Amino acid sequence: MAGRAAETRRLNRSQRATFTQYDIDNPFASGAFRWVAKGVYTEGSREDEQCVTKWFKTGVVFEALYFALDIKASEKSCDLIQQWNAAGFTDKIIRMNMPEVWEFVDSGQKCLQEPFIEEWQKFNSNSGWADDSTPWPRVMQALSHFTYHASGGQFVLCDLQGGVYSDGVVLTDPVILSRSKSFGVTDLGPNGISNFFAKHQCNEFCRSRWSKPANMGHFFEAQEGTSMMDEGSQSHVQTRETRQQMSAFAEEDSNSDY
């Protein structure tokens, strides 16, 4: 199963992409902190494939810290997903988009860059909400449970979202709930872990031997959007990007490169 684990990372495999001015001016998705636009890789093994760029909205402070936390969460998520893939719980692979910090050529503004995901959907949240209507969302719930067990109770990978492909699922922008609360404002800490399991119902993809916390309690209202903690108080805010219905595309002559 080592080969399956090695396939977990979904990389840019490119150093340059282009975006129409229309897409930059009309982002197809947004969150509390960031805008998201779709473009095309212009070189490398992904040349002509679609990609996305994510940049912070005007007025967002501690931008560098948020970039660092995004990369940190992605790396830890990949480690946990690799363990799932190596165990072979399903015959499909779960991949993780690995973002990189790039800069726009014209402005020098930093952004997060990663491959585009088709048919985006939300599987669960960091406050206990979950879609259990079809098998793949139930697999994602089992993945969240597994990450607690595999990490010795230190982490829960959640807020899982991405796209379903013929050979598996591609995820992006996950949340890590940690005992040390070291993954930023969306890491709801020990109470978040307890809250997840208070609302979690094991399904056919879970294993009875997987561990659970001894103390489970309802600390957060379950909602589909991502919740964040603000200076020690609970605040439910949609902080991860939600795909919006795209308006009719209008091709522009000018492109924005980076």
Residue 248 has pLDDT above 80, yes or no: no
**For range 15-38, the mean pLDDT:** 91
Q: What is the dihedral of CA 69, 239, 121, 208, to 10 degrees?
A: 60
Query: For position 241, what pLDDT does the model report?
Result: 44
* Predicted TM-score of the model (pTM): 0.87
Give the residue-averaged pLDDT of 205-233: 89
pLDDT at 64 > cutoff 90? no
Helix (H) / strand (E) element for 251: namely: none
Condensed to tens digits (0 to 9), the pLDDT of residues 76-93 reads 999 999 999 999 999 999
How far apart, in whole angstroms, are the C-alpha atoms of residue 81 and residue 8? Answer: 7
Tell me the per-residue pLDDT of 162-204, one tens digit each, with 9 for 90 and over.
999 999 999 999 999 999 999 998 999 999 999 999 999 999 9
109 vs 99: which has the higher pLDDT: 99
Residue 36 has pLDDT above 50, yes or no: yes
Stretch 29-55: mean pLDDT = 93
Q: Which two tokens stand for residue 12?
A: 């840019």
Query: Could you tell me if 131 and 122 are in contact, meaning their C-beta atoms sit under 8 angstroms apart?
Result: yes
pLDDT (0 to 100) of residue 59: 63
Say which range, 31-40, 79-88, 115-124, 146-155, has the weakest mean pLDDT: 31-40
Average pLDDT over residues 61-73: 82
Tell me, what's the pLDDT at 255? 40
2-8+19-251: CATH, from 3.90.1170.50, 3.20.200.10, 3.40.50.880, 3.40.50.620: 3.20.200.10
**Per-chain mean pLDDT for the chain:** 87
